[in-house]
């Protein structure tokens, strides 16, 4: 992170410099650390510039000019999410900054960082990566500006985007640049996005069209003729045209930026097409024309194998913040003694972008690899004997697979868990149970907790797992995410209905009673999601009232790029059926929806009353047991 550290390594220059909107934490839960360690492992000299000042290019010069390229990321989250609340107010804390200080990264960090790099080193290639770049790779609805923005590659002076999990792509890019290849010619790596001039793309399409026409003509020719020099030249042109046609067959063109920014039906159509191509087994490339450039997404990169996953997570991470920091980074405190077991999630929640970033298929580490990492945790001087998390995007999909994945990837026409768990899916928790048992037996490990991330509809398929979860792996509270209790809303979210939730809570209570423990469920709930009306929120408030599930763990839906829910929020359409979806967009209604979840809070009285009045439910105002609030002014 400094020239002094570069000299201490005996290096004269760096090959690659990673720019990040997060503080530098050398832990495998942080994307910059993984990419840095993977590149180092491949033999490259890597530097990191973390949270640079963006008012001038000076901070971007502090490690000198990299020999190969800059890689730019906003950090572990989109900069809008890091900086702003769902109400678009500045956050007062940033978990990825030293001391939790806010305001250290700009909004649209990837674009701003790229512009400053271009000022400082105009000739050095720039590769974008991380959540912000990955999920803004096509024209997308931007909540901050409330409009459709161009692909981030059209707005940033960069050469490539690495989308999804990027270890394989970034090493391939580095090796090809090392070999002297021009980054403008690196256009065939899966899991990357590149851009080309509108004129060049038009010419490519014209060549492909000529090839198709020529093939039709050849079918009508009946006799062979002597090949003249002119014909040789024509054959050469034909070969170029055929190559163009072959190339284009690997790609699907979706509605352009001009179309999707003006027509919501076109936006939904574009989303539906590229959503279906995020399959590393069957997916094609996707092309989207923009006014000044054409954005080309190559097919997705394959998943890492088990051996590759093991190798990545056993690279020599220190597990600590960089020694230059004098304050802790809160995000590390949450994961310092946790273990990543797998990537991907087949849950398919409409509001979640994991499907578009890590994919629906599960890539897991071996049990032995996870155990080796756990053993290293026990050797840390500040380890107190507690592993506080074991899992991935979910806690209980480790080692799971479907028999269809190898040949065709995750199904395009149905979800693995919604509206019910697919019978083709292997829902056995056997491998996870073996891992948890062996972790508990490790010397120095007192407890292994899984207090969050459990997909409860999946857990219901394996009572042995659920029983051991209650007996050994919960520290008093289990956090789960039913999100809502109205059927209309859970259908829009692609989440299980409340009958599945109730079955789980009953089983949870019974198993805790059996093992003699008093443990509780904490629900994560959401207001303002597409399809959610005031009536739905009142239904949820009544359900919470009747079942004793009052909670402060409520979030207002925030539209983030490339999710099904954001597409519905912007267009008012279900992109897969074309049916209209109700969307609460006004600040007042969103505030009323959220207030209904905190109806006991005196500060929300006026909003709750107004919501009940608007919905014609003033029967819920009064002194009766069923009422949510008392008469005005009387608590």
Binding residues for [4Fe-4S] cluster: 345, 349, 352
Beta strands 160-162; 147-149: pairing state: unpaired
Could you write out the DSSP letters of every residue in 74-142?
A: --SS-HHHHHB-TTSPBPS--TTSGGG-SSSS-TTHHHHHHHHHHHH-TTS-EEE-HHHHHHTSSSEEE
At how many degrees (to 10) do helices 367-378 and 306-313 cross? 10
In 515-626, where does DSSP find H-type helix? 534-547, 564-571, 587-597, 605-614
Residue pair 241/210 in contact by the 8 Å Cβ criterion: yes
The radius of gyration of the chain's CA atoms, rounded to the nearest angstrom, is 27
The Cα 335–Cα 319 span in angstroms is 10
Query: Residue ranges for the binding site?
Result: 345, 349, 352
Token pair, residue 368, equals: 């032995």
Question: What are the DSSP E strand ranges found in 366-406?
Answer: 386-387, 389-391
- Nearest CA to 7 out of 36, 41, 45 is that of 45
Residues of 624-635 as b/e, b for ≥16 C-beta within 10 angstroms?
Answer: eeebbbeeeeee
Side-chain-facing half-sphere of 400: CA atoms under 13 Å:
32
Query: Both ends of the chain: CA-CA distance in Å?
Result: 57
The residues that bridge with 493 in the sheet, in sequence order, are none
The Cα 442–Cα 445 span in angstroms is 6
Please count the helices (runs of H) and the strands (runs of E) in the chain: 25, 20
Q: Where does residue 40 rank: exposed (0-12), middle (13-18), buried (19+ CB within 10 A)?
A: middle
């Amino acid at each position: 992170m400094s020239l002094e550290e570069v000299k201490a390594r005996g290096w004269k220059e760096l090959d690659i410099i990673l720019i990040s909107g997060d503080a530098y934490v050398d832990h495998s839960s942080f994307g910059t650390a993984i990419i840095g360690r993977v590149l180092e492992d491949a033999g490259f000299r890597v530097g990191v510039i973390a949270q640079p000042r963006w008012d001038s290019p000076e901070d971007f010069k502090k490690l000198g000019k990299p020999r190969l390229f800059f890689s730019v990321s906003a950090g572990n989250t989109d900069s809008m999410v890091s900086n702003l609340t769902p109400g678009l107010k500045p956050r007062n804390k940033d978990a990825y900054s030293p001391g939790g200080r806010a305001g250290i990264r700009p909004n649209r960090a990837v674009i701003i960082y790229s512009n400053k790099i271009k000022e400082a080193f105009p000739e050095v290639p720039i590769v974008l990566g991380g959540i912000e770049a990955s999920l803004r790779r096509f024209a997308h609805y931007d909540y901050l500006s409330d409009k459709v923005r161009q692909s981030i590659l059209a707005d940033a002076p960069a050469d490539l985007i690495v989308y999804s999990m990027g270890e394989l792509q970034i090493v391939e890019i580095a090796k090809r640049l090392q070999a002297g290849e021009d980054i403008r010619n690196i256009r065939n790596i899966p899991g990357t996005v590149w851009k080309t001039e509108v004129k060049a793309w038009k010419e490519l399409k014209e060549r492909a069209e000529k090839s198709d026409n020529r093939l039709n003509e050849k079918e009508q020719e009946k006799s062979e003729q002597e090949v003249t020099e002119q014909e040789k030249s024509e054959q050469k042109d034909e070969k170029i045209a055929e190559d163009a046609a072959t190339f284009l067959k690997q790609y699907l063109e979706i509605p352009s930026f001009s179309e999707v920014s003006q027509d919501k039906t076109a936006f939904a159509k574009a989303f539906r097409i590229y959503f279906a191509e995020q399959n590393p087994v069957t997916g094609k490339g996707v092309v989207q024309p923009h006014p000044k450039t054409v954005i080309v997404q190559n097919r997705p990169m394959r998943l890492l194998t088990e051996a590759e996953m093991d190798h990545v997570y056993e690279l020599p991470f220190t597990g600590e913040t960089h020694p230059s920091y004098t304050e802790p980074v809160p995000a590390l405190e949450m994961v310092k003694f946790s273990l990543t077991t797998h990537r991907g999630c087949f849950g398919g929640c409409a509001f979640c972008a994991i499907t578009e970033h890590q994919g629906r298929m599960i890539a897991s580490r071996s049990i032995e690899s996870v155990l080796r990492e756990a053993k290293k945790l026990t050797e840390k001087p500040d380890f107190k004997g507690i592993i506080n998390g074991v899992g991935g995007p979910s806690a209980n999909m480790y080692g799971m697979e479907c028999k269809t994945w190898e040949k065709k990837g995750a199904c395009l026409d149905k979800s693995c868990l919604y509206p019910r768990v697919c019978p083709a899916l292997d829902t056995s928790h056997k491998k996870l149970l073996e891992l948890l048992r062996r972790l508990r037996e490790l010397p120095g490990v007192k407890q292994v907790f899984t207090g969050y991330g459990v997909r409860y509809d999946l857990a219901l398929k394996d009572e042995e797992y659920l029983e051991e979860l209650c007996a050994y792996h919960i520290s008093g509270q289990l956090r789960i995410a039913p999100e809502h209790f109205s059927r209309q809303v859970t259908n829009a979210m692609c989440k299980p209905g409340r009958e599945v939730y109730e079955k789980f809570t009953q089983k949870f209570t019974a198993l805790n009673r059996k093992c003699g423990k008093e443990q509780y469920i904490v629900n994560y709930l959401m207001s303002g999601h597409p399809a959610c009306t005031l009536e739905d929120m009142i239904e949820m408030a009544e359900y919470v009232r009747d079942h004793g599930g009052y909670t402060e763990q409520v979030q207002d839906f925030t539209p983030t790029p490339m999710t099904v829910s954001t597409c519905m929020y912007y267009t008012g359409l279900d992109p897969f059926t074309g049916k209209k979806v109700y969307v609460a967009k006004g600040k007042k209604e969103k505030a009323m929806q959220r207030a209904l979840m905190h109806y006991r809070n005196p500060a929300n009285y006026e909003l709750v009353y107004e919501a009940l009045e608007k919905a014609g439910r003033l029967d819920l105002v009064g002194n009766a047991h069923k009422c949510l609030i008392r008469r005005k002014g009387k608590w």
